[in-house]
């Protein structure tokens, strides 16, 4: 099976931008860099969780996307009602695919 056929979900990629708050300061907001980008979202395995156990933030999921997209570590992925902070982006092959470690934001995170 070809890689693009494995990408079975659509996600939006939101990028942070600074906007003036009208009082001399600024506020960070997110706007879409990509909409309906094809992706595959998979929970991190137990073995991967143990590898990350010494890290400050442990990813909850791994996401695969096409390699021609520009995804930054300060971006967020939106999948339906779920939001994921990007922890690490690995470009496996310039023209082929990205592996992205993400952490799902929950109500307990306060975001």
Give the residue extent of every domain in the chain. Answer: 3-106
Task: Give the helix/strand (H/E) hosting 36.
Answer: strand 26-43
Contact 90, 100 (CB under 8 A): yes
Residue 3 predicted with pLDDT over 80 = no
Q: pTM for the complete prediction?
A: 0.81
Residue 27 predicted with pLDDT over 80 = yes
CA dist 52 and 73 (Å) reads 17
CA dist 105 and 18 (Å) reads 21
| Predicted confidence band of residue 26 (pLDDT cuts 50, 70, 90) | confident
- In total, the chain counts a number of residues equal to 111
Q: Which residue has the higher pLDDT, 41 or 48?
A: 41
Contact 27, 21 (CB under 8 A): yes
As assigned by CATH, the class of the 3-106 domain is mainly beta
| Tokens matching residue 66 | 């096409």
Over the stretch 58-98, which tens digit does the pLDDT of each residue have? 899 999 999 889 999 999 999 999 999 999 999 887 668 99
């Amino acid at each position: 099976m070809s890689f693009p056929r494995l990408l079975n979900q659509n996600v939006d990629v939101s990028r942070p931008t600074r906007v003036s708050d009208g009082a001399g300061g600024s506020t960070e907001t997110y706007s879409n860099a990509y909409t309906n980008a094809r992706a595959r979202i998979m929970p991190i395995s137990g073995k991967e969780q143990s590898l990350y156990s010494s890290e400050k933030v442990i990813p909850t999921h791994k996401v695969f996307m096409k390699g021609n997209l520009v995804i930054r570590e300060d971006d967020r992925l939106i999948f339906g009602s779920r939001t994921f902070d990007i922890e690490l982006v690995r470009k496996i092959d310039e023209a082929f695919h990205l592996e992205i470690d993400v952490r799902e934001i929950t109500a307990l995170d306060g975001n």
